[in-house]
Amino acid sequence: MENAIKDWRGRSYLPGPVPADRVRMFRLALASMAVISPLQYGYAALHTGLHTSQAGGLTLLAVWIACQAAGALPALHLVRRRRLGVRTCLAAGAALTGLGLATAGLTSGLSPAALAGYAVLGGLGAGLVYGVCGEVVSSWYPERPAARVGLITGAFGYGAVPLLLWAGLFPAMTGPAFLVMAAVATAVLATAARHLRLPPALWWPLDVDPRSHALDAARLRTAPEAVKQFGIAQALRTRTLPALALMLVCAGAVSVLDVIVVAGTGAWGAVALLVALNGAGRSVAMRASELHGRRRVLAAVFGALALGQVLLAVAVQNAHERPGGTLLLWLGAVAAGLGGGAFYPLLASLVRELFGAERATEIHAVVYSAKAVAGAVAAGLAFVALSAPGAALLAAAALAALPALATPRLRLPGLPATIPL
C-alpha cells in the first residue's frame, strides 16, 4: 500500500486516527466474554458434581468444550479474510449462546435436547463469540494486543461468579437463573453485534510511532520478536506448536476438573473464589509477564496450578476434619484459581512472540483447538474422581507439573538448534 510505513523487521503499518468508540468496543467485547462464561464454568459447577447421578453432565461438558474450541477456528479464519462479517458471527453467537443457556436451565442430565441445545449449538455459539471478540480487540489494540486480550479472556473466567453465588444462596432456583442468563447474554451479544467491527487492514494508532515501538528495548527484553512471520503450515512443521498445544491440553483439563471437584464439596464460596481468580489471574499474569518475561511467568502459573491440585487432594482426603480440611480447600482454590486461567492469554502471547504477529491469531486458534482434547481428559479425570478424588487430583498435579518443567525449554522456531536456550 502506498502510504504504509515499515519497521526494522519489514512489517507494514498504516497509521490512522483512533476511533472515538474504541473503548466502547473493548467494553462490549469484555461483556460478551463474561456472558458466555456460565456455559462452561457455571455448567461445570452446577451440573457435574461428584455424584454418579450427574455423570451424564460430564459427557455434555466434554462435548461442549470440544464444540467451543472447534467453533473458534473456522469463524476466525473467515472473519480475518473478510468473507464473514463480525456482525453476522456475533448475531449467530447470540442466538446459539442464548439457546445453550436456556437448554442448561430447562434440562438436567444426558438427553438429546441437552446434547443438541447445550453441548453442540451452545458450544459452537460460545466459540464464535470467543474467537471474534479476541480478533476485534487485538486488531484495535495492536500496540498491546496480549494485555488487552488477556483482560477480555479474564471476563470469560469470572463472568460465571454471579450465577455461582446465586446457586449457593438459592440452590432450588438454578434453572431460572440459567434462563435469566440466557436473556442477558442474548441482549449483550446482540448489542455487541451491532457495534463491533474490524479496523482497516494494517491499521495502527496514529498517536504511537510503530517504528519506535518495534525498537523498544524494554519490551524486546521480555517479549522478543519472532525470527520471521510464520504461516500456519510452517508453524505446524515446528516442534514448538505441538508443545504449546500439549501444554494447553494438560492445563486446560486440570482447570476444568478443579471447578467440578470444588463444586462437589458444596463449598460455594470456594467455587466462586476459584472461578473469580481464574479470570482475574489472567490480567495479573499478563502484567507480570511484561515485567519478567512470558516464559518465567507461564512456568510459575503452571507451578501454582500443580500446587493447587496437591492442596485440594489433601483437603478432599481429610474432608472429615472440618477445620483443617476447609482451610486447605480454600488455599487450594486460591492456587488453582490463579493458575487455572492465566495460562490461556500467556500461551496466546507466546504464539505471537514465537511465530510473528501477522498470523498469530490464526495460529493461536490452532493451539486453542487442543482444548477439545482437554475437555475429554477433564471428563475422564472427573469420572475417576467419582470414586477416588484424591487420586484424580494427584494425577492432575502431575499433568500440571509437566508443562511447568517444559516451558523454560521452549525455543524460538527458526533458530539453529546449536544456539543455547
In this structure, of 6-10, 86-90, 176-180, 208-212, the range with the lowest mean pLDDT score is 6-10
Query: Residue 153: which of 298, 410, 347 has the closest Cα?
Result: 347
- pLDDT one-digit tens code per residue, 312-346: 999 988 765 554 458 899 999 999 999 999 999 99
The x, y and z cell numbers of residue 82, run together, are 473478510
pLDDT exceeds cutoff 50 at 391: yes
Residue 180, pLDDT above cutoff 90: yes
Q: Residue 296 gets which letter from DSSP?
A: H
Task: Please report the pLDDT score of residue 104 as a whole number.
Answer: 94
- Give me the helices (H) in 81-122, please: 86-106, 112-113
Q: What is the pLDDT of residue 108?
A: 80
What pLDDT sits at residue 73?
77
pLDDT band at 274 (very low <50, low <70, confident <90, very high): very high
Q: How many residues does the chain have?
A: 421
Phi, psi at 20, each rounded to 5°: -65, -25
Residue 2's pLDDT band (boundaries 50, 70, 90)? low
Of 118 and 386, the one with more pLDDT: 118
Average pLDDT of span 2-25: 85
Please state, in angstroms and rounded to a whole number, the distance separating the CA atoms of residues 147 and 282.
9
Q: Is the dihedral of CA 253, 108, 158, 32 positive or negative?
A: positive
d(CA 47, CA 57): 6
Average pLDDT of the segment spanning 124-144: 93
Q: Quick one: which of 307, 324, 315, 339 has its CA closest to 389?
A: 315
* CA gap 142, 137 in Å, rounded: 8
pLDDT at 1: 53
β-strand 12-16 against 5-6: which pairing, if any?
antiparallel
Percent of the chain with pLDDT over 90: 64
Report d(CA 331, CA 47) in Å as an integer: 24
Burial of 335 (0-12, 13-18, 19+ CB in 10 A): buried
pTM of the model: 0.91
Burial of 320 (0-12, 13-18, 19+ CB in 10 A): exposed
Rounded to an integer, what distance in angstroms lies between the CA atom of residue 419 and that of residue 413?
Answer: 11
d(CA 213, CA 144): 10
Q: How many other CB atoms are found less than 10 A from the CB of residue 221?
A: 10
Distance CA 270, CA 416 (A): 47
Find where cell 524486546 sits: 220
What's the average model confidence in pLDDT over 173-186? 95
Of the listed ranges 25-29, 72-76, 395-399, the one predicted with least confidence:
72-76
pLDDT averaged over every residue in the chain: 89
pLDDT of residue 266: 84
- Which of 393, 404, 246, 405 has its CA nearest to residue 308? 393
CB neighbours of 154 closer than 8 A, spacing ≥ 6?
279, 280, 281, 282, 283, 341, 345
Supply the pLDDT for residue 416.
66
